Amino acid sequence: MATGLPYCGRFAPTPSGPLHFGSLVAAVASYLDAKAHDGRWLVRIEDVDKPRAVAGASDTILRQLEQHGLLWDGEIWYQSQRDAAYQQALETLRAQSLTYYCTCTRKQIKARGAHYTGYCRSRQRPAAGSAERFRNDQPSLQFHDRIQGDVQLEPVFAREDFLLYRRDQLYTYQLAVVVDDHQQGVTDIVRGADLMTASSWQLALWQQLSERRPRLAHVPLALDPDGRKLSKQNHAPALRADQVPAQLLRAFEFLGLTDIAADASPAELLQQATIAWRLKYLS
């Protein structure tokens, strides 16, 4: 686990649109946990999937964070600028015989079952349009979550040989997020519960690329009236600049933080919420 390093947390939004309430909850939770630990809080723009990035969305997201008093430490990293780091990590894994090439299409994979079956495991050489997968021989089947407790992961999913490099010549989120968290010295990852299952793949990579693992904490998801996760794909409304205190208070309430005076500036609200977070999650 992540020991011996000073606390470092992060918020890593995808720039596919402005922040909404669900993303505010994740940002607030990671920010408060960092401040409650007297640690650093980083912001990283996860635009490794370059076609999904919307022009101007990164600037909008950063402006929204500033409006809500969520001020980050250090420089901002953009995954779209870090191909060299991801290639180096891929070559490290390749040298350990932990990757293989795959020519399977999504249609072919789906025809064989719900999960990838390792069909191309014996493929030694790249072919035109091939992807590259992680040879997941030591899967992470469980982990301790600081909020959710002991988490048991679905074995079939956790054991899947997942993609590191896509057919369209893009590095995957799974590879990029582990490389970045490791190189930035991130010790604690606080994020939405929708990413809890993906933690199995990421922890499997961590144990190959690092001698440490981060502590994990997954907060509940904010849902729309139909029970769907609030997301840009589901047309969740963007945060409003004229509703900052109300939006922060709603996020605090969603996270179970109480006894916060409503009539205060964003900075003062966050100071009160940090104390409430420390009492609820650290005591």
| H or E segment and range at residue 101 | strand 99-102
Whether residue 240 lies inside any domain: the answer is: yes
CB–CB of 73/39 below 8 Å? no
Whether residue 219 lies inside any domain: the answer is: yes
Please give the order of strands across the beta sheet that includes 142-145: 149-152, 142-145, 215-219, 188-192
13 among the known binding-site residues?
Answer: yes
Whether residue 96 lies inside any domain: the answer is: yes
* Confidence check: pLDDT of 143 > 60: yes
10 among the known binding-site residues?
Answer: yes
11 among the known binding-site residues?
Answer: yes
Task: Provide the CATH number for the domain around residue 94.
Answer: 3.40.50.620
Q: CA-to-CA distance for 185 and 6, rounded, in angstroms?
A: 9
Whether residue 3 lies inside any domain: the answer is: no
Enclosing domain of residue 244: 8-282
- Report pLDDT digits (tens) over 177-193: 999 999 999 999 999 99
Whether residue 81 lies inside any domain: the answer is: yes
8 among the known binding-site residues?
Answer: no
Alpha helix locations (H) across 113-242? 155-158, 173-183, 199-209
46 among the known binding-site residues?
Answer: yes
Q: Give percent of the chain above pLDDT 90.
A: 84
Q: Give percent of the chain above pLDDT 70.
A: 95
116 among the known binding-site residues?
Answer: yes
Structural domains in the chain (count):
1
14 among the known binding-site residues?
Answer: yes
91 among the known binding-site residues?
Answer: no
CB–CB of 278/34 below 8 Å? no
How confident is the model over 264-272, as a mean pLDDT? 95
